[in-house]
Amino acid sequence: MATQDEVFKKIVSHAKEYGFVFQSSEIYDGLSAVYDYGQNGVELKNNIKRYWWDSMTLLNENIVGIDSAIFMHPTIWKASGHVDAFNDPLIDNRDSKKRYRADVLIEDYLAKIDEKIDKEVAKARKRFGDSFDEAVFCSTNPRVLENVAKRDAVHERFANALNDNNLEELRQIILDCEIVCPISGTRNWTDVRQFNLMFKTEMGSTADGAMGVYLRPETAQGIFVNYLNVQKTGRMRIPFGIAQIGKAFRNEIVARQFIFRMREFEQMEMQFFVRPGQELEWFGKWKETRMRWHKALGLGDWKYRYHDHDKLAHYANAATDIEFEMPFGFKEVEGIHSRTNFDLSQHEKFSGKKIQYFDPELNESYTPYVIETSIGVDRMFLTVLCSSYEEQELEGGDKRVVLHLPAALAPVKCAVMPLVRKDGLPEKAREIVNELRFDFTTRYDEKDSIGKRYRRQDAIGTPFCITVDHQTLEDNTVTLRRRDTMEQSRVNVADLHKIIHDEVSINSLLRKLS
């Protein structure tokens, strides 16, 4: 059996081989943590965005979208706290010269202790069988108790150090836990320093006096500074939301794990404005709504979990992550934050403009509170890709690689293939393509054996293959082959549209949500 690490490597090379994701600037040896999406990747990505956008703006009367610019007035980032506090603690290993995030080194250490505990429990479950009582085992087994105590103690120190911004203590935890550099294996660590993640550039020619501007590190601020514009012109009443999809940029210290952590990435964010005092109720609702959105894709309910934050960001009064089980462990895909009225109040202060809402029901004005849902398009792409990839052994010793993509997200919905390249079959196949392509991304393929053509479509996750043969010319029926089961059935050309539509439309996903 391949290890998870090997599986992940295979997924990365599959993504390249089949036109999903390429390393940026590859012919110049690449640019670290920047990626390009290929012909299939862009379709999958667009479908993910469409699913999110429609779930926000079609299913909620009180959510509208905007598209704000990447460049914004630099004072915005002062007001939001990013200039002063959007930092990660970095540490270098003097021997390997490798740089790490101090917090991530400690988190990985804690995750390893958790793994040890899980292993003890799994071992005991196997030994005791049906009579196994996990709660009793965990509260009495000395090895488990020792590990739990160790984990909790480190965890408490870690949470305090983060809360107090105590960089020396972070370093001390790394030393006390005897965490070594994975490359050099040594504990020769430098001090921990803060590193601001924003990219800076200049706007305007230097003769005019250029202004320093940032590439936005999140799309949210574009929503906050447009709050009044949208509320007034859309005559929005609280509660209401503003959604946005767009690029964000972070000069990540350690960029690893393919498109999981990039320096240029895309976010789908929604800020939901509510009455003060009602934010925690709405936080709970959005937590649930967003989990439903993920699970509707059918990637496996057990692959998701919530991770509530111990350390709240300076602006939040509640926060949770939706984590997904990647081949390299459970990782954050989406954050849901109760951001209080911090951002709007700050913009009110820094801009000098009044950003208040007059609530006609209460007959009073206030600065709205905000619930944010924030998900990375690229991370979402990675969850879909990782959970869809399968190497299958087929009967007769044959093998295939198949992407079990949710049909609504698949880059290509159907491929039409003439069995042979003669006798009018290509013409008939083209006729079918010409009909289907108005509604579905459709491919025509006549090269190689039919088996090879099926494999090519399986590898990019095409849900349907349609084969045109001699019988088609007689009775207008084709062979419809399904990707996951490889089951083939004879259907009338006139029925193709409905069959395909019922399974591949984003609509079918959205219906699961309402």
Q: Near ligand ATP by CB under 6 A, which window of 77-85, 278-286, 333-341, 403-411?
A: 333-341
As measured in angstroms, the least distance from the Cβ of 102 to ligand ATP is: 13
Beginning with the edge strand found earlier in the chain, give each strand of the sheet holding 264-274 in spatial order: 63-65, 240-249, 264-274, 369-376, 329-338, 318-326, 304-308
- Among 40, 231, 244, 374, which residue interacts with ligand ATP (rule: CB under 6 A)? 374
Could you tell me which of 420, 371, 494, 388 has the C-alpha nearest to residue 11?
A: 388
Q: Which burial class, exposed, middle or buried, applies to 285 when counting CB atoms under 10 A from its CB (0-12, 13-18, 19+)?
A: middle
Q: Which tokens go with 451? A: 């088996």
Q: Which tokens go with 331? A: 């990782």
- Among 323, 334, 445, 469, which residue interacts with ligand ATP (rule: CB under 6 A)? 334
429-458: which residues touch ligand ATP (CB under 6 A)?
none
Q: Near ligand ATP by CB under 6 A, which window of 294-302, 351-359, 374-382, 496-504?
A: 374-382
Radius of gyration of the CA atoms of the chain, in A? 26
* Amino acid symbol at 387: S
Instruction: Answer yes or no whether residue 294 interacts with ligand ATP by CB under 6 A.
Output: no
Instruction: Answer yes or no whether residue 82 interacts with ligand ATP by CB under 6 A.
Output: no
Of 266 and 458, which CB lies nearer to ligand ATP in the complex structure?
A: 266
What's the number of CA atoms in the CB half-sphere (13 Å) around residue 49?
Answer: 18
Instruction: Answer yes or no whether residue 103 interacts with ligand ATP by CB under 6 A.
Output: no
Strand, coil or helix: 278: coil
Instruction: Answer yes or no whether residue 219 interacts with ligand ATP by CB under 6 A.
Output: no
Instruction: Answer yes or no whether residue 252 interacts with ligand ATP by CB under 6 A.
Output: yes
As measured in angstroms, the least distance from the Cβ of 265 to ligand ATP is: 4
- Among 219, 267, 367, 467, which residue interacts with ligand ATP (rule: CB under 6 A)? 267
- Among 48, 375, 478, 496, which residue interacts with ligand ATP (rule: CB under 6 A)? 375
Instruction: Answer yes or no whether residue 246 interacts with ligand ATP by CB under 6 A.
Output: no
Instruction: Answer yes or no whether residue 89 interacts with ligand ATP by CB under 6 A.
Output: no
Q: Which burial class, exposed, middle or buried, applies to 49 when counting CB atoms under 10 A from its CB (0-12, 13-18, 19+)?
A: middle
Of 180 and 254, which CB lies nearer to ligand ATP in the complex structure?
A: 254
Of 379 and 413, which CB lies nearer to ligand ATP in the complex structure?
A: 379
Of 14 and 250, which CB lies nearer to ligand ATP in the complex structure?
A: 250
Instruction: Answer yes or no whether residue 290 interacts with ligand ATP by CB under 6 A.
Output: no
Q: Near ligand ATP by CB under 6 A, which window of 156-164, 344-352, 375-383, 408-416?
A: 375-383
Of 52 and 357, which CB lies nearer to ligand ATP in the complex structure?
A: 52
How far apart CA 371 and CA 270 sit, in angstroms, is 8
Q: Near ligand ATP by CB under 6 A, which window of 77-85, 227-235, 259-267, 271-279?
A: 259-267
Size of the site for ligand ATP (CB under 6 A): 15
Instruction: Answer yes or no whether residue 80 interacts with ligand ATP by CB under 6 A.
Output: no
Of 218 and 458, which CB lies nearer to ligand ATP in the complex structure?
A: 218
410-425 burial string, b = 16+ CB within 10 Å, else e? bbbbbbbbbbeeeeeb
What's the number of CA atoms in the CB half-sphere (13 Å) around residue 84?
Answer: 8
Which DSSP string corresponds to 318-380? EEEEEEEEETTEEEEEEEEEE-TTHHHHHHHHHH-----EEETTTTEEEPPEEEEEEEEHHHH
Q: Give residues with Cβ within 8 angstroms of 388, minimum separation 6.
A: 299, 403, 404, 405, 406, 461
As measured in angstroms, the least distance from the Cβ of 5 to ligand ATP is: 20
Q: What is the 3-state secondary structure (H, E, C) of 445-500?
A: CCCCCHHHHHHHHHHHCCCEEEEECHHHHHHCEEEEEECCCCCEEEEEHHHHHHHH
**Enclosing H/E stretch for 286:** helix 279-295
Instruction: Answer yes or no whether residue 105 interacts with ligand ATP by CB under 6 A.
Output: no
Instruction: Answer yes or no whether residue 261 interacts with ligand ATP by CB under 6 A.
Output: yes
Q: What is the DSSP letter of 239?
A: S
Of 378 and 469, which CB lies nearer to ligand ATP in the complex structure?
A: 378
- Among 82, 250, 404, 481, which residue interacts with ligand ATP (rule: CB under 6 A)? 250
Of 50 and 456, which CB lies nearer to ligand ATP in the complex structure?
A: 50
Instruction: Answer yes or no whether residue 333 interacts with ligand ATP by CB under 6 A.
Output: yes
| Residue indicated by tokens 């004072």 | 75
Instruction: Answer yes or no whether residue 318 interacts with ligand ATP by CB under 6 A.
Output: no
As measured in angstroms, the least distance from the Cβ of 493 to ligand ATP is: 43
Residue nearest ligand ATP (C-beta atom)? 376
As measured in angstroms, the least distance from the Cβ of 374 to ligand ATP is: 4
- Among 265, 273, 283, 381, which residue interacts with ligand ATP (rule: CB under 6 A)? 265
Q: C-alpha distances in angstroms, 295 versus 42, 77, 164, 372, 384?
A: 22, 35, 37, 19, 11
The answer to whether the beta carbons of residues 189 and 98 sit under 8 Å apart is no
Instruction: Answer yes or no whether residue 222 interacts with ligand ATP by CB under 6 A.
Output: no
How far apart CA 155 and CA 171 sit, in angstroms, is 14
Q: What is the largest CA-CA distance in the chain?
A: 80
As measured in angstroms, the least distance from the Cβ of 160 to ligand ATP is: 19
Q: Which tokens go with 499? A: 């069959």
Q: C-alpha distances in angstroms, 200 versus 19, 30, 212?
A: 32, 22, 7
Other Cβ atoms closer than 10 A to 196: 17
Instruction: Answer yes or no whether residue 339 interacts with ligand ATP by CB under 6 A.
Output: no
Instruction: Answer yes or no whether residue 161 interacts with ligand ATP by CB under 6 A.
Output: no
- Among 332, 348, 359, 503, which residue interacts with ligand ATP (rule: CB under 6 A)? 332
**Interaction site with ligand ATP (CB under 6 A):** 250, 252, 261-262, 265, 267, 332-335, 374-376, 378-379
